[in-house]
């Protein structure tokens, strides 16, 4: 851990916005004040100076929804390459989804993921646990054992827990453990063979549709199960207008529900599937302009707490297939901030909240991430230029895969530096490890 001076930036956190330099030493923030250059020079220890002219200095971002593919699918992504993509996207912590092979349903796998993440040293990786063994929706995973080992978020992501009785028991069992169950909302019997949003576009293309109701029924069910059990539920990647309404109403009633939305669900529509390009296949699918408007409104009024990428790498050969044969998913880590700045009509403070301290709290990472930029706080920071424009070039992404739907798009907002655990892991847009 080196000494780092972040100079000439604007600090933005949950306490507000102010012009200040930030000094980091020994993994913590040691000074936040205007013009710290002179006092930093007094010390003889080596100093890394990060220029932040025109930039925002904020708590590091936290992604609630990342597929790192390791163990099992290392040809698509590894914990190291995914961590590097995260760091370049300004994330200092990411929640790794449990749909690996083997899945995160044992301490062995959880500890393996953590060890690989420590080895990479680019961001904190918090593995989410499975709700059910093997994500098969039949038997509960060892929630208590994993909770005792520090796992906070549990999900069968990729699958929704179909059986309402099992989901009820899981929530009842989870409540005293202080953990959060996160649901991939999809009633599977309504989405058999589905490859895209059910609507006029799929009708024209002759592709099986994924109806909005398949998500909304499970959102509704789990709101009611949260009410019944008193246990919190987090809704992953909401994609439909009606889902946003349901969560808004549940929050108005004071229920313990939270929600996230992915950038592709507030930027892209199902019309893109007319190209038959599987880059645009994702689950839940791209939907309509009305749904996009509702997701944006949900982010604006706080119904949707967090922007989470659902970063889902796939190698080119698997995406170069007909839509019904290609796997769903798209990259997200390196474009999330820019899409939020470019496409959401939100104050920067709200964008940072949805990327940082709000998801940190949901993930139970708020002791280390999403902290105010103040003396004594852990030095997990993102420094980004909200006005810089750049063009997405898949070959330049750090992810091992190339399946971004934004190739060639020019976006506004770029991460310049990322400080993780007191180390500058990204300097001027270049990963240092």
Provide the minimum distance between the beta carbon of 87 and other proteins in the complex, in angstroms, as a whole number: 33
Q: Residue 418, CB half-sphere, CA atoms under 13 Å: how many? A: 30
Provide the minimum distance between the beta carbon of 275 and other proteins in the complex, in angstroms, as a whole number: 8
Q: Are 27 and 45 in contact (CB under 8 A)?
A: no
Beta bridge partners of 127: 96
Provide the minimum distance between the beta carbon of 356 and other proteins in the complex, in angstroms, as a whole number: 39
Q: Does 37 bind other proteins (CB under 8 A)?
A: no
Provide the minimum distance between the beta carbon of 128 and other proteins in the complex, in angstroms, as a whole number: 31
* Tokens at 319, concatenated: 């995406």
Q: State yes or no: is 366 an active-site residue.
A: no
Q: Does 203 bind other proteins (CB under 8 A)?
A: yes
Helix or strand (DSSP H, E) at 174:
helix 164-174
**Helix orientation angle between 241-252 and 212-229, rounded to the nearest 10 degrees:** 10
Q: Does 290 bind other proteins (CB under 8 A)?
A: no
Q: Among 291, 310, 385, 423, which one carries the catalytic annotation? A: 310
Q: Are 407 and 95 in contact (CB under 8 A)?
A: no
Total residues contacting other proteins by CB under 8 A comes to 20
What is the per-residue DSSP string for 327-376? Answer: PP-B--TTTHHHHHHHH----HHHHHHHHTHHHHHHTT-TTTSS--S-TT
Residue 402 CA from chain centroid, whole number: 18
> Could you tell me which stretch among 192-200, 219-227, 355-363, 403-411 binds other proteins (CB under 8 A)?
192-200
Residue among 45 and 395 whose Cβ is closer to other proteins = 395
Q: Does 188 bind other proteins (CB under 8 A)?
A: no
Residue from 209, 232, 298, 422 in contact with other proteins (CB under 8 A): 209
Query: How, if at all, do strands 410-420 and 423-427 pair?
Result: antiparallel
Q: Mask of contacts with other proteins, 259-278, x by CB under 8 A?
A: ----------------xx--
Q: Does 41 bind other proteins (CB under 8 A)?
A: no
Residues that bind other proteins (CB under 8 A): 198-200, 202-207, 209, 211, 275-276, 317, 320-325
Could you list the active site residues? Answer: 310
């Amino acid at each position: 851990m080196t000494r780092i001076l972040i100079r000439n930036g604007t600090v933005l956190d949950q306490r507000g916005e102010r012009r200040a330099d930030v000094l980091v030493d020994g993994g913590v923030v040691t000074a936040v004040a205007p013009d710290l250059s002179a006092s930093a020079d007094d010390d003889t220890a080596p100093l890394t100076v990060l220029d932040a002219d025109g930039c925002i200095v904020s708590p590091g971002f936290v992604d609630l929804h990342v597929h790192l593919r390791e163990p099992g699918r290392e040809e698509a992504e590894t914990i190291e390459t995914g961590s590097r993509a995260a760091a370049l996207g300004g994330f200092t912590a990411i929640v790794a989804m449990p749909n690996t092979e083997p899945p995160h349903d044992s301490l062995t796998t959880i500890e393996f993921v953590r060890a690989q993440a420590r080895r990479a040293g680019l961001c904190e990786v918090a593995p989410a646990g499975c709700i059910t063994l093997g994500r098969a929706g039949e038997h509960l995973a060892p929630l208590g054992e994993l909770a005792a080992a520090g796992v906070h978020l549990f999900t069968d992501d990729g699958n929704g827990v179909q059986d309402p009785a099992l989901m009820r028991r899981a929530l009842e069992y989870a409540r005293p453990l202080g953990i959060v169950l996160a649901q991939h909302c999809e009633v599977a019997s309504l989405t058999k063979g589905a490859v895209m949003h059910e609507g006029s576009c799929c009708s024209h293309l002759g592709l099986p549709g994924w109806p909005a109701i398949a998500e909304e029924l499970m959102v509704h069910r789990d709101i009611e199960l949260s009410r019944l059990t008193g246990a919190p539920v987090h809704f992953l990647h909401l994609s439909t207008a009606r889902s946003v309404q349901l969560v808004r109403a549940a929050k108005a009633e004071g229920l313990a529900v939270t929600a996230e939305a992915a950038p592709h669900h507030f930027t892209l529509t199902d019309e893109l599937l007319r190209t038959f390009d599987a880059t645009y296949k994702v689950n839940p699918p791209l939907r309509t302009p009305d749904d996009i408007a509702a997701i944006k409104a949900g982010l604006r009024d706080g119904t949707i707490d967090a922007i989470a990428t659902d970063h889902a790498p796939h190698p080119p050969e698997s995406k170069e297939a007909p839509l019904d044969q290609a796997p769903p998913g798209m990259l997200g880590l390196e474009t999330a901030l820019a899409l939020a700045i470019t496409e959401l009509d939100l104050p920067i403070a709200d964008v940072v909240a949805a990327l940082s301290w709000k998801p940190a709290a949901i993930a139970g990472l708020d002791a280390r991430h999403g902290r105010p930029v103040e003396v004594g706080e852990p030095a997990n920071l993102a420094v980004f230029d909200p006005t810089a424009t750049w063009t997405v070039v898949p070959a330049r992404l750090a992810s091992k895969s190339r399946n971004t739907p934004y190739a060639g798009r020019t976006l506004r907002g770029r991460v310049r530096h990322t400080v993780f655990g007191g180390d500058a892991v990204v300097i001027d847009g270049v990963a240092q490890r």
